Structure 1
Amino acid sequence: MIMSDRIMRTKIVFFLLPKLHLLDLAGPAQAFSTANDLGYGYDLHYVAEVDEIVTAQGVPIRASRDWPELRPADLIVVPGWRSPRLSPRTPIAAAGKQRLRAHHAAGGSVASVCSGADALGAAGLLDGRKYTTHHDLTDELAARYPKANIVRDVLYVVDDRVITSAGIASGIDLALHLIAVERGAEAAARVAREMVVYARRNGDELQESAMLRHRGHLSDLAHRVQDVIDSRYAEQLRLSDLASGAGVSERTLTRIFTTATGLTPLRYQQLLRLERAEHLIGHGATVESAARAVGFEDARMLRRLRARPLAG
């Protein structure tokens, strides 16, 4: 699903705070940058409350104080800063907190990596929601934000357009999830391959994307068939054609695919369709239009799948 020049690109704004961890920033920035290089339409921006941020690793980073104009489809990401202990006061000014609140109130998404969750908490965005953070910080953040619901030992959590991740390399996991939801499973798979990362998820909310969730196996044949389904999930794919393309019988394909992923090829395709349809519905599409967009002839099948989600 390569983006057309006529489609408005998604802005990803990294809000940089003092002593941020390089990988908390570099991981998701690389994922979104790679997605943009592959034609999936992302514009990256780096803003801060000062002109220069010195990272926890001692590398200075120049940033802009001027925020770009944001739409609801855009994302603000707050990378984490030095841990394992939180600072007594969250290093974010009142104006920064208001930026986060206003963007979310306007329908936008906000995300954090590691201790970046502290900034979301200070802005009041964690209250009443589930979230996660680095395991060294869970007790401190749980005490600091008692109205929020900490989820321990998971890679990331999504709750009402507030997306939090565990920290360090899990920022890549978070970015791949968002790319899969917004641009499709094929896009996330291509980015993961370009970055030479192992696309495997675990934890709360099934860690969302079916493509990523069912890629943690070593079957080359299953991966090749998943590549086909990922790129053509909205089409009518016959098992016989998938098997022929893989050079095996239908029975062999079903056995190997199910052993590797836990799903039959058809159930895997349906799960991709369901997740993409849920994303479209969450952004204002009707059930009928979402069903057509993901390849269902009418909305009845989508309604059945939404009522009884597939296992996986």
Structure 2
Amino acid sequence: MHHVAFVVYPGFELLDMSGPASVFTSANRSLALSRKPPFYAVDLVSAAGGPVTSSSRVTVETRSLEECARKALGTLLVAGAEREYLLPALAEPAWATWLPKLAGKAQRFGSVCSGAIILARLGLLDGHRVATHWDACRPLAAAFPTVAVDSDSLYVVDGRLWTSAGVTTGIDMALAMVARDLSADIAGEVAKRLVLYARRPGYQSQFSPLLRAQVKADSPFAELIAWILANLDAPLDVPVLADRAGLSERTFHRKFGAATGQTPARFVETARLDGARMLLCRGLSLKSVAAEVGLSPATRFTEAFERRFGVSPRLFRQMHADP
């Protein structure tokens, strides 16, 4: 069996552990339904073992790092925490004694959310590209200049190192692990069982255009943005959007920029290109994708995609499309 060990400590973020753990145990359930043996064995480990209380006051039972080191290890993941819990955790001497050894013997290792900071403190991220929670990106990059922090991706795979951004992205990363270990079909079954909206690829931004707007003080344009995302193939210029919002073009341009931090044109292009990436992952032709996101003809779509992402949509499809 593939042994998965989650490293936790007092005040850890519960969902950093429980979300990915549910993915692995759900994969076992999918295997059982096909009369196949379980693949994953999940353990929680801490410095000394015993009960450990999360930031949400839920207490979990753990094994010690020393005990974990006696087993063959498939995956080692360090959970994250808020600053007030992470700082005391960084002072734990057991990390330096055991985590490098465990990371060295594991088939893969990594972190969820700000757990990356613990790995960075031990030098385990040097020379690697990593993801972490958006709020920890700048401190991580400043404190560890040899670490290439990807502030946009949901999760990053760099050799044996797997790191994810904030909280729920650990689920996305775990699904990608299941797809690699077992199959994309089983990962899809797990996503369906957990009632996930979608299996998100790692390159996707930590914030969708809709979420970026919603976090701007309850944006008055939330309904309009939802309509934009549902109608990417429609005309989405300022006159159309202003009319739908019931504002003059000048007022709409000013208020929309204040609410979203982007001009309407930039926002629409971002939404269209994000939608295009999802469609390319499904293997659709460039012509079909361009039409569905309102960037026809395909030459216009290709130019916009290359300008934004530095790679052609054709190559992106080859790299990311499901087999």
TM-score class, shorter-chain normalisation, is 0.5 to 0.7
Matched, 1:189 2:181: no
| Unpaired runs of at least 5, structure 1 | 1-8, 208-216, 219-257, 268-305
Instruction: Select 1:49's aligned residue among 35, 47, 55.
Output: 47
Matched, 1:147 2:165: no
Mapped to 2, the partners of 1:259 and 1:123 lie a distance apart of: 35
Shift of 1:123: 2.0
Residue 72 of structure 2 aligns with an amino acid whose one-letter code is R
Q: Please list the CA deviations of residues 11-43 of structure 1 after superposition, one character each: whole Å capped at 9, or x if unmatched.
A: 001111220011111100111111112225100
Give the structure with the higher percent helix: 2
Q: Please list the CA deviations of residues 42-85 of structure 1 after superposition, one character each: whole Å capped at 9, or x if unmatched.
A: 0011111132212111222221222164436x001111112489
For 2:75, the equivalent position in structure 1 comes to 75
Q: Which moved more, 1:61-70 or 1:111-120?
A: 61-70
Q: How many residues align?
A: 215
Instruction: Select 2:28's aligned residue among 31, 36, 50.
Output: 36
1:260/1:140 Cα in 2 relative to 1: closer, same or farther (>3 Å)?
Answer: closer
Mapped to 1, the partners of 2:68 and 2:202 lie a distance apart of: 34
For 1:289, the equivalent position in structure 2 comes to none
Report if the CA contact (8 A) 1:131-1:150 is conserved. yes
Mapped to 2, the partners of 1:164 and 1:260 lie a distance apart of: 21
Instruction: Select 1:20's aligned residue among 2, 6, 12.
Output: 12
Bigger CA radius of gyration: 2
Report if the CA contact (8 A) 2:134-2:165 is conserved. yes
Mapped to 1, the partners of 2:277 and 2:109 lie a distance apart of: 37
1:176/1:310 Cα in 2 relative to 1: closer, same or farther (>3 Å)?
Answer: closer
Percent sequence identity is 32
For 1:62, the equivalent position in structure 2 comes to 61
Shift of 1:204: 3.4
Mapped to 1, the partners of 2:320 and 2:24 lie a distance apart of: 29
SS class of match (1:143): helix
For 2:3, the equivalent position in structure 1 comes to 11
Mapped to 2, the partners of 1:260 and 1:145 lie a distance apart of: 33
SS class of match (2:178): helix
Report if the CA contact (8 A) 1:180-1:187 is conserved. yes
Mapped to 2, the partners of 1:149 and 1:64 lie a distance apart of: 32
TM-score (norm 2): 0.59
| Unpaired runs of at least 5, structure 2 | 32-37, 207-228, 231-275, 286-314
> Following TM superposition, where does structure 1 have runs of at least 4 consecutive aligned residues deviating by more than 6 angstroms?
263-267
SS class of match (1:63): strand
SS class of match (1:11): strand
Mapped to 2, the partners of 1:203 and 1:41 lie a distance apart of: 23
Report if the CA contact (8 A) 2:75-2:107 is conserved. yes
Residue 33 of structure 1 aligns with an amino acid whose one-letter code is T
Report if the CA contact (8 A) 2:5-2:45 is conserved. yes
Q: Please list the CA deviations of residues 88-109 of structure 1 after superposition, one character each: whole Å capped at 9, or x if unmatched.
A: 771442x333433223333621
Report if the CA contact (8 A) 2:117-2:140 is conserved. yes
For 2:169, the equivalent position in structure 1 comes to 170
Residue 3 of structure 2 aligns with an amino acid whose one-letter code is K
1:108/1:98 Cα in 2 relative to 1: closer, same or farther (>3 Å)?
Answer: farther
SS class of match (1:13): strand
Shift of 1:260: 8.1
For 1:253, the equivalent position in structure 2 comes to none
TM-score (norm 1): 0.61
Report if the CA contact (8 A) 1:153-1:203 is conserved. no
Residue pairs, 1:112-123, within 5 angstroms:
112-123=111-122
Mapped to 1, the partners of 2:46 and 2:320 lie a distance apart of: 42
Mapped to 1, the partners of 2:278 and 2:202 lie a distance apart of: 19
Shift of 1:143: 1.6
Mapped to 2, the partners of 1:264 and 1:139 lie a distance apart of: 33
Residue 19 of structure 1 aligns with an amino acid whose one-letter code is G
1:203/1:106 Cα in 2 relative to 1: closer, same or farther (>3 Å)?
Answer: closer
